[in-house]
Each structure stands twice: as structure tokens, then as C-alpha cells.
Amino acid sequence: MSHLFDFDYHNPTAIHFGPGRIARLRELLPPQGRVLWLYGGGSIKRNGVYDAVSQALRGCTVHTFAGVEPNPALESLLPALALMRAEATDFVLAVGGGSVIDAGKFLAVAALADGDPWDFVAGRRAIERALPVAAVLTLPATGSESNGTSVISRHATREKRAFRSPWMRPRFALLDPQVMRTLPDRQLANGLVDAFVHACEQYLTTPVGALVQDGYAEAVLRALYRLASSFARRHEIEWCQNLMWAANQALAGLLGVGVPQDWATHAIGRELTALYDLDHARTLSIAQPWLLRETVAAKEQKLLQMGREVFRRADTDALQVIAEIEALYRRLQMPLSLPEAGISDPDAADRMMTALLPQQHQLRDLDPPALRRVLSALSSGTA
Ligand code: NZQ
Ligand code: ZN
């Protein structure tokens, strides 16, 4: 294959980027809207976001639901759904990171439907409408603020699933890099690595001569590589601005149009979170290098291209490029195996196999024996 796939591209999210942008909220909301304001565990009360949003919403009809947890679960969102129905809210405002925004998208779909809302997450039921959603982003990482994806867990069955629909794309997103000042180093590193892997999943496949997509992906990867190298400057506004925009662009949809993609790292990562409650980005740093070593032959050309264009190493081989990616994660103190994340489970590979075999279609270049090799390696930290 050496040509682009056909594609349709439409990203309707209006992005308002820059310090102070949250004040625009008022003029962007529908004047008579009945707003569900969703937020997480309270970080927005420490960085001025809560006050700025409250100010902007003064005089509006607003119902608040707080406490959306990282890796949001169906069980904890059902009370929000009940609130929306009782109050007939017709607009969802998500203020937080990927978890709060994903929860908002899910609720926007579920609020307009009868029946079991998990059917949408599991892909058993098509999404045909949703309430409008908007986002005030506080953690650059997932790109959820301008894409049509949501990731929801279900504790009862230890599942974590991604689902997509154009209906879930936010109407607008407010990106003020000043809100990043309260982010702990762990979340900044998580955000950087998540965005890096998003770009990789759309780039590290096979070449199809996509000059523009490759160039965009390389620009985002180079930016993230520079931000990792200058992590000491993470409290400067210039650094924050660049992470916020890079993370948005990494998963706003443009990098992946018309080119092959491989989301196997994310498929494995979701199961690692479902089983061991690990931060999303940490599952990616654990899974991706082992996966790349297993699939190095299939991905060799793009790895070499990444070595030249991102790491600026002309004389490199594919394994060295993988080592370079690992070095980037090490610099950010990310784990590269389950033991490094404090998990020692002798049954980890078996449990992961059981969870992943029904999802084989998400694991592009991996047959079951190859999958087992990857899972054994990441569970033990040795190939
Ligand atoms: O809950 P609060 O108190 O707000 O604290 C959060 C949370 O504990 C904190 N935080 C957020 N902004 C902050 C802050 N702390 C201080 N200052 C701030 N400005 O950070 C913690 C983590 O937040 P979370 O939203 O969970 O992180 P992230 O944005 O990394 O989102 C992770 C979720 O998104 C999914 C992941 O699977 C995971 O469930 N993903 C969503 C995607 C999408 N919709 O496109 C794609 C991704 O690949 C990913 O799967
Ligand atoms: Zn991700």
C-alpha cells in the first residue's frame, strides 16, 4: 500500500486559546441554557478556575455535579444522569482534564436515551444524538477537548472502553495555559507522554507517502521531545502554552486522516488501568516500547524516519530509536514495566491475555503468540 485512504475531515470545535479566555464562557453559552457543570475532585478550587467559571455563569441556570474521578466509571456517573433528567439540563459544561470531559460526553449521549447507557460505550448501540458539550481544559493530555472520543470504565466488570461519535465533539473549548500552574509534575509528565503516544499511534505504522500528515506528526513529536528535554522549565508560561497546544493537536484528528493507524498501545493500556488502576499515560510508557520491539520489522521504516526527523539522528537503527523513546520516558520518571509501577502480579500476562483476546481487532500487527510475548515482557520487565 502506498497511497492515502479516502477520508472525510470535519472538526467543529471552536478553540479559544490564551490567558483569560475563561471569561468568554458567558458569551459562548446558549443564553437560555440549563447547564450541567461537571468537574472533578476539586483542583479547580486551587487555581482560580472555579471562581472564573462561577463568575462567567452568574445569572445562568446551572446545576453542578462534582467529584468525577480519574478514569470515570459508569457507576459514579449515574447520579449525574439522574440530576440531568430531574433538572432537564440541556447543555454540558465539563471543567477539568480528560476524565471530566469524557464523562461530560458520555452524559450528553446518555441523557437523551432510554435503556442501559453502557450499550453506547460497548458499541452495541449507535449514537444518533447528544446534548451539546463544551470544555474548559485544565490538563493538557488527551485531546478530548476537541475530539469525538470518550473513555468510560465499568467497575462491576472491570472494563474500560473507548467509544466515538461526531455527536460528542465539544462545541467549543477554552484553553488557558495559566491553569496549568497547579498541575503536579506527575500529571505534567503524564500529559506529555499521553500526547507523544497519540502522535506515535497515528505515525509509527507503514509509510504511505503522506507528506503533510507525516510532517504534522513530526512537528508535534519534535515539540513534545523538546518539552521533555526542557522539563525543568515547566513552570514557565511558554512551556505550558506549547504543551497545551501540542497535546490538543496530537489528538484533534488531523494527524491521522488518510493514513494507517495502530492503537495497540492504547488497547493494552486500557486493560492495565482496568486491572491495576494505573494512570493512563503510565500504562502507555509500560506497553509501548515492548510493543515496538515486537513489531520492529513492520515499523522499521517509520521508526528510522522518526529517528531522522524527530530525534535528529541520521545514523541510527530502529532499535536505537525505541531506546531513544524509552530515554524520553525515563527522563520524565515514567515506568517501563509493571514492576517499575509497583505491580508484581505473577498472573498479569494471563489476565491481560483473557481481557485482550476478544479485542484482537484492535491489535493490528499482533497475533496471539506475539501478544503473549509483549504481555510477559511488560509484566516482568524482561524480554
Ligand atoms: O479531579 P481533580 O481534582 O480536578 O484532579 C485531577 C485528577 O486528579 C488533576 N488535575 C486536573 N487538572 C488539574 C489537576 N490538578 C491540579 N491542577 C490542574 N490544573 O489531574 C488528575 C488526573 O486528571 P484526569 O482528567 O484523569 O487526567 P487526563 O486528562 O490524563 O485524563 C485521563 C482520562 O482520559 C482518557 C484516559 O483513558 C483516562 O480515562 N483518555 C481520553 C481520550 C480521549 N477522550 O480522546 C484519549 C486518551 O488516550 C485517553 O484514553
Ligand atoms: Zn491516550
For the stretch 186-189, contacts whose Cβ atoms lie closer than 8 Å and that sit 24 or more positions apart, written own/partner, are: 186/279, 187/97, 187/139, 187/141, 188/231, 188/234, 188/243, 189/231, 189/281, 189/332, 189/333, 189/334
Which residues make Cβ contacts (< 8 Å) with residue 339, sequence separation at least 6? 380, 381
> Dihedrals φ, ψ of 10, to 5°?
-155, 115
Q: What is the DSSP letter of 334?
A: -
Among candidate residues 312, 320, 257, 322, the one with its CA nearest the CA of residue 288 = 322
**Which of helix, strand or coil describes residue 369?**
helix
Residue 263 CA to ligand 2 centre (angstroms)? 9
Residue 187 CA to ligand 2 centre (angstroms)? 13
* Dist CA 195 CA 281 (whole Å): 9
Q: Which ligand is nearest to the CA of 181?
A: 1
**In testing the pocket of ligand 1, which one of 138, 142, 145, 167 has its CB within 8 Å of the most ligand atoms?**
142
Residue 268: predicted pLDDT: 98
Residue 255 CA to ligand 1 centre (angstroms)? 22
* Dist CA 43 CA 46 (whole Å): 5
Tell me the pLDDT of the chain (383 aa) as tens digits: 578 999 999 999 999 999 999 999 999 999 899 999 999 999 999 999 999 999 999 999 999 999 999 999 999 999 999 999 999 999 999 999 999 999 999 999 999 999 999 999 999 999 999 999 999 999 999 999 999 999 999 999 999 999 999 999 999 999 999 999 999 999 999 999 999 999 999 999 999 999 999 999 999 999 999 999 999 999 999 999 999 999 999 999 999 999 999 999 999 999 999 999 999 999 999 999 999 999 999 999 999 999 999 999 988 899 999 999 999 999 999 999 999 999 999 999 999 999 999 998 889 879 999 999 999 999 999 98
Residue 365: predicted pLDDT: 78
Q: The pTM is what?
A: 0.98
Give just the sign of the alpha carbon dihedral 70, 240, 244, 291: negative
Other beta carbons within 10 angstroms of residue 222's beta carbon come to: 17
Among candidate residues 152, 191, 157, the one with its CA nearest the CA of residue 168 = 152
Residue 1: predicted pLDDT: 52
Residue 315: predicted pLDDT: 87
Contact 193, 243 (CB under 8 A): no
Nearest CA to ligand 1 atom 31: 98
Burial of 33 (0-12, 13-18, 19+ CB in 10 A): middle
Q: What is the DSSP letter of 240?
A: H
Q: Where do runs of H (alpha helix) occur along the chain?
A: 25-28, 49-57, 74-87, 98-110, 118-121, 185-201, 211-229, 237-250, 264-276, 280-294, 296-309, 318-331, 348-356, 368-380
Residue 55 CA to ligand 2 centre (angstroms)? 32
Q: Decide whether any atom of ligand 1 lies within 6 Å of the 220 Cβ.
A: no
Q: Decide whether any atom of ligand 1 lies within 6 Å of the 266 Cβ.
A: yes
Q: What angle do CA 218, 16, 252 make, to 5 degrees?
A: 35
Q: Decide whether any atom of ligand 1 lies within 6 Å of the 179 Cβ.
A: yes
**Which of helix, strand or coil describes residue 366?**
coil
Which residues make Cβ contacts (< 8 Å) with residue 32, sequence separation at least 6? none
Q: Decide whether any atom of ligand 1 lies within 6 Å of the 253 Cβ.
A: no
Among candidate residues 166, 184, 94, the one with its CA nearest the CA of residue 130 = 166
